């Protein structure tokens, strides 16, 4: 724990698995909080097995989301062990994160209302699939399902192409972000009142919020949004173009940039064509314009066009693969790729800097149950948890 970071001194108990709650825990931990991860003694977090690739016995994905935490392995179905966790929360926790299936924490006596009765200062965050209200409140959900139900999948791809998911867990990670924001807001208010609260977020609400612009457009005009591939609905040209040897992304987002783009392409008169004179006209005549621009881009290489576009300040860039991103000089300059403290894995650091410095003490990924000793200073009767800890030490 880095005492110079904003959340130094805050203790977070993460009763979480998979991605959403662990991602929120990783954010809070990277901001300086102590994060104690509660895992199933029988199997650990599901994400430990979400590979290959595997690093030091756990999936690389698990390292990316769980570095810097402690791990306690226990069986919440055992009343004694659930009781130990309640005692730990009472003694240590400022924040609890949980994303068990609906009703899971309540049956173990670990729900927010129950815990806050004895500890009103506790900030308790529920990370659910579909929220606490409505007909789907008890339905389990994972990111691809919520991408489908939340409308995001209907936006991905080009006209006539098969439907596909966004190949990033945007709802899991987005829900983790919203959880962290909610927790930070609740901690800020607690400074003034001394009282915590229950924060609730869900994958479905996150998906609906990602589609907020498209929903606003639909409600304004009654037309469903189209599927524009690398482009966007409301700005043209703002998409990828195929050059003689590869593709580049071009974002000429206003009339001035469009005029400069036409100059670079050697077709300045196009900017005066009434069909393309302003963005609204360009959107209305999208395909005709894209065809004309594409014909010019195909005449030269990516390097030629990127240099020419950069020279006139037109936003553009190559479409890079992950290996190119890792090796890019901009990535290196930002020093956002960080090694865990045991040098076992490389992960992406927190995309925030304080005073020009990124939090860098990211710790390492815990072994399952490695920190069960955190419970040993709590009086309790002999249980399988105590015996497992004794056997492992």
**Residue 228 belongs to a domain:** no
Residues 46 and 172 in one domain: yes
| Closest CA relative to residue 388, chosen from 109, 72, 38 | 72
- The number of folded domains in the chain is 2
Domain co-membership, 260 together with 387: no
Q: Report the C-alpha gap between 189 and 186 in whole angstroms.
A: 5
Active site residues: 172
**Structure tokens given for 28:** 């809070």
Residues 166, 17, single domain; the answer is: yes
Shared-domain flag, residues 148 and 25: yes
In a domain, residue 231? The reply is no
Residues 183, 157, single domain; the answer is yes
CATH number at residue 359: 3.40.50.10540
The answer to whether 366 and 38 are in contact (CB under 8 A) is no
Q: CATH number of the domain at 302, please.
A: 3.30.1540.10
**pLDDT digit of tens for each residue in the chain (393 aa)?**
456 899 999 999 999 999 999 999 999 999 999 999 999 998 899 999 999 999 999 999 999 999 999 999 999 999 999 999 999 999 999 999 999 987 789 999 999 999 999 999 999 999 999 998 899 998 888 999 999 999 999 999 998 899 999 999 999 999 999 999 999 999 999 999 999 999 999 999 999 999 999 999 999 999 999 999 999 999 999 999 999 999 999 999 999 999 999 999 999 999 999 999 999 999 999 999 999 999 999 999 999 999 999 999 999 999 999 999 999 999 999 999 999 999 999 999 999 999 888 988 889 999 999 999 888 654 443 444 544 444 544
> Which among 271, 295, 319 is the end of a domain?
319
pTM for the model: 0.90
Domain of residue 120: give its range: 11-210+334-392
């Amino acid at each position: 724990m880095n005492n110079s970071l904003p959340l130094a001194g805050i203790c977070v108990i993460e009763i979480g698995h998979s991605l959403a709650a662990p991602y929120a825990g990783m954010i809070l931990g990277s901001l300086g909080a102590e994060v104690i991860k509660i895992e199933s003694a029988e199997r650990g977090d599901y994400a430990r097995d979400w590979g290959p690739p595997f690093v030091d016995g756990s999936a690389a994905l698990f390292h990316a989301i769980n570095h810097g935490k402690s791990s306690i392995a226990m069986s919440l179905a055992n009343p004694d062990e659930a009781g130990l966790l309640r005692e730990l929360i009472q003694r240590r926790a400022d924040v609890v994160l949980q994303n068990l299936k609906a009703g899971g924490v309540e049956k173990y006596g670990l729900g927010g209302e129950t815990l806050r009765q004895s500890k009103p200062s506790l900030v308790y965050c529920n990370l659910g699939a579909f929220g606490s209200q409505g007909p789907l409140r008890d339905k389990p959900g994972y990111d691809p399902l919520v991408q489908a139900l939340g409308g995001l999948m209907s936006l991905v791809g080009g006209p006539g192409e098969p439907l596909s998911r966004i190949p990033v867990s945007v709802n899991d990670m987005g829900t983790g972000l919203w959880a962290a924001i909610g927790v930070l807001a609740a901690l800020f208010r607690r400074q003034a009142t001394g009282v915590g609260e229950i924060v609730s977020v869900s994958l479905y609400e996150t998906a609906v919020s990602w589609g907020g612009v498209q929903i606003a457009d639909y409600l304004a005009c009654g037309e469903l949004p189209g599927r524009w591939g690398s482009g966007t609905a409301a700005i043209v040209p703002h998409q990828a173009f195929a050059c003689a040897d590869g593709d580049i992304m071009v974002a000429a987002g206003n009339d001035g940039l469009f005029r400069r783009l036409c100059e670079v392409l050697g077709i300045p008169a196009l900017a005066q064509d009434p069909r393309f004179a302003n963005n609204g006209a360009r959107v209305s005549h999208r395909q005709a314009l894209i065809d004309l621009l594409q014909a010019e881009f195909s005449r030269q290489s990516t390097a030629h066009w990127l240099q020419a576009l950069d020279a006139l300040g037109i936003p553009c860039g190559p479409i890079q693969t992950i290996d190119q991103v890792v090796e890019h000089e901009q990535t290196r300059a930002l020093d956002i790729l960080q090694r865990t403290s045991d040098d076992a894995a490389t992960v992406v650091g927190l995309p925030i800097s304080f005073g020009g410095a990124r939090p860098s003490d990211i710790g390492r990924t815990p072994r399952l149950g490695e920190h069960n000793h955190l419970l040993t200073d709590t009086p309790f009767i002999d249980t399988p948890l105590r015996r497992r800890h004794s056997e492992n030490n």
